A and B are shown apart, each in its own frame.
Chain A
Amino acid sequence: VSTLETRYRRMLMLLPAAYRERRGEEMLGTLLDGAEPGRRRPRMDEVASLAALAVRLRMGAPGGSRRSVVTGEVARRVTLVGLFGLGLWFCAVGVSGATLMLSLPYWNAFEVLGPLTSGSVVFGVCLPLLLLGGYVALVLGHRRLGRSLAIVQAPSVVVQLLVLKRYGVFPEEVALITMSVMVGAAAVLGFHRGAPKIPAPRKWLTVAAVGILVVSPMAVLDTYPNPFGLGPHVAYSLSQITFAVVAPLLVIGFGVLRARRSALWPTVLFVAGLPTLTLLPHNLAPFVGNRIVNVYAENWSSNLLLSGLDGLVAETVLAAAVLWALHRRRAAARVIEA
């Protein structure tokens, strides 16, 4: 056995075991056939190509295991849910900024919106387009375009939140950055060359349209002092309850309902929601120190959102739903076996 063959065999260890069992010897033969005489180690492009195949196989490419198909499906749905969630968030930020700008005199708006530099205004408009554009492209099967947009959004979000700001980074921005990076990574992993198209694209598009139609007026309510004749307190509470209570409840409800069929959706929502847990350490500190009581009690829904407690509750319920779905599946498998 030559040194090169030993090294090729080591390189093939990157592949999933079952695939290597089936294809390993054949691939080794192809690699050795193509090697120039005297070569002692694999070329870098061979290693890169095999590593990429190994990742694709673990993400449900043809030839991969059943588990890898599920993993790939989770990665693709996390990408879409993340793009959707981030897209709605930045859409709300954009609507909110526009409302504020329109509701104030020019000089006052300039004063208030000082942190919105020209660069961040560009990003404020571009980010929702980038995120929701990536979502729509992936849903409609334009894999390359959608994946590119899903990757590009990550540095764009980071630049928007970290570079173009006058003030420090808020905890919720850490969560947004974590999510945007996670979404970019999930897009790279999930939307590979052999990835299947997204089923039922109309449903995905409808959900996006409904989301934008619900979130935009809520963003206006959250910003404008007296919209539609509502008092500021009523308007603010309504929007905060929507963002802090109704939205998490919808996510939890959907995840639990889908858990009756399979663990796929609760897993997707659980993974997509993980970045919200980054809010906890920072925002629970006042509770732990018993320093803030009245402020939180006064505006409970807002602080529920900011404290990340709703994220923690949602993650806990979704984790339980995943376990429940897996338990149901195992129980059903046992019944079939019996």
Chain B
Amino acid sequence: MNTSTRTEQVFLILTALVDEPRHGYGIVQEVARLSDGRTQLKVGTLYGALDRLTGEGLLALDRESVEAGRLRRYYRLTDAGAAALASDVERLAGPLATATARLRARGIALPGLGATSLGVTGLGTAGGAA
């Protein structure tokens, strides 16, 4: 799957696994947290994506355990997965920074976006050029 066809849900799943391996419900919770509750992964979507991403080598099974009588499989981001996510972030960062800078230049406040969190400070010239 190339970068342009990766959906927002897949982007969020990859992001959810950057810091630590998580099991299915852990991924659902983390994706909801990352998206401020806007994305609620359904089980069909989640496991369809896990199958696909595992098949592409972007995720790998980390470990299995039985907790409270329930089987849990933990998935981790592989190096290839991290590289794919980094590529997505780079692709998105440019237009995002430009849009943010232009909106701020127009006087529209974006209180939810910290300047440094987007790297907007470093990309300030993009806004200047615009």
Contacts of A53 in B (CB 8 A): 43-45, 47-48
A53 CA to B54 CA, complexed, in Å? 16
Min C-beta distance of A256 to chain B, whole Å = 35
A61, B51: Cβ atoms closer than 8 Å: yes
B70, A49: Cβ atoms closer than 8 Å: no
B52, A45: Cβ atoms closer than 8 Å: no
Contacts of A51 in B (CB 8 A): 44
B52, A61: Cβ atoms closer than 8 Å: yes
Contacts of B23 in A (CB 8 A): 29-30
- Cβ of B72 < 8 Å from any Cβ of A? yes
- Cβ of A36 < 8 Å from any Cβ of B? no
A54 CA to B71 CA, complexed, in Å? 21
B55, A45: Cβ atoms closer than 8 Å: no
Which residue in chain B gives the minimum CB-CB distance to A52?
Answer: B44
Contacts of B45 in A (CB 8 A): 49, 53
A26, B43: Cβ atoms closer than 8 Å: no
Contacts of A277 in B (CB 8 A): none
- Select A28's contact among B46, B55, B70, B73, beta carbons within 8 Å: B70
Contacts of A30 in B (CB 8 A): 23-25, 28, 43, 46
Min C-beta distance of B8 to chain A, whole Å = 13
A34 CA to B55 CA, complexed, in Å? 25
- Cβ of A46 < 8 Å from any Cβ of B? yes
Instruction: Give the most central of A28, A30, A50: most B CB within 10 Å.
Output: A30
The answer to whether A34 and B70 touch (CB under 8 A), given A53-B48, A61-B51, is: no
- Select B42's contact among A28, A32, A45, beta carbons within 8 Å: A45
A180 CA to B73 CA, complexed, in Å? 43
A63 CA to B47 CA, complexed, in Å? 9
Which residue in chain A gives the minimum CB-CB distance to B55?
Answer: A62
- Select A46's contact among B24, B43, B51, B70, beta carbons within 8 Å: B43
- Select B43's contact among A49, A56, A193, beta carbons within 8 Å: A49
Contacts of A23 in B (CB 8 A): 47
A27 CA to B72 CA, complexed, in Å? 9
- Select A56's contact among B25, B42, B48, B73, beta carbons within 8 Å: B48
A34 CA to B47 CA, complexed, in Å? 14
- Cβ of A31 < 8 Å from any Cβ of B? yes
Contacts of B73 in A (CB 8 A): 26
- Select A29's contact among B44, B55, B71, beta carbons within 8 Å: B71
B24, A29: Cβ atoms closer than 8 Å: yes
A63 CA to B45 CA, complexed, in Å? 13
Which residue in chain A gives the minimum CB-CB distance to B51?
Answer: A63
- Cβ of A194 < 8 Å from any Cβ of B? yes
B51, A33: Cβ atoms closer than 8 Å: no
One digit per residue, 1 when the CB lies within 8 angstroms of any chain B CB and 0 when it does not, for chain A 17-60 equals 00000010111111111100000000001101111111010000
Contacts of A29 in B (CB 8 A): 23-25, 70-72
Contacts of B43 in A (CB 8 A): 27, 30-31, 34, 46, 49-50, 53
The answer to whether A26 and B71 touch (CB under 8 A), given A52-B44, A53-B47, is: yes
A224 CA to B73 CA, complexed, in Å? 69
Which residue in chain B gives the minimum CB-CB distance to A33?
Answer: B25
- Select A62's contact among B25, B52, B71, B72, beta carbons within 8 Å: B52
Contacts of B28 in A (CB 8 A): 30, 34
One digit per residue, 1 when the CB lies within 8 angstroms of any chain A CB and 0 when it does not, for chain B 74-107 equals 0000000000000000000000000000000000
A62, B44: Cβ atoms closer than 8 Å: no
Contacts of A26 in B (CB 8 A): 24, 71-73
Min C-beta distance of B42 to chain A, whole Å = 3
Min C-beta distance of B69 to chain A, whole Å = 9
B44, A50: Cβ atoms closer than 8 Å: yes
- Select A27's contact among B47, B52, B54, B55, beta carbons within 8 Å: B47
Nearest 6 pairs between A and B by C-beta? A49-B44, A49-B42, A29-B70, A53-B44, A63-B51, A30-B24
A selection of 18 A-B contacts at a CB cut-off of 8 Å is A23-B47, A26-B71, A27-B24, A29-B70, A30-B43, A30-B46, A46-B42, A48-B42, A49-B44, A50-B44, A53-B48, A56-B48, A62-B51, A62-B52, A63-B51, A194-B48, A194-B51, A194-B52
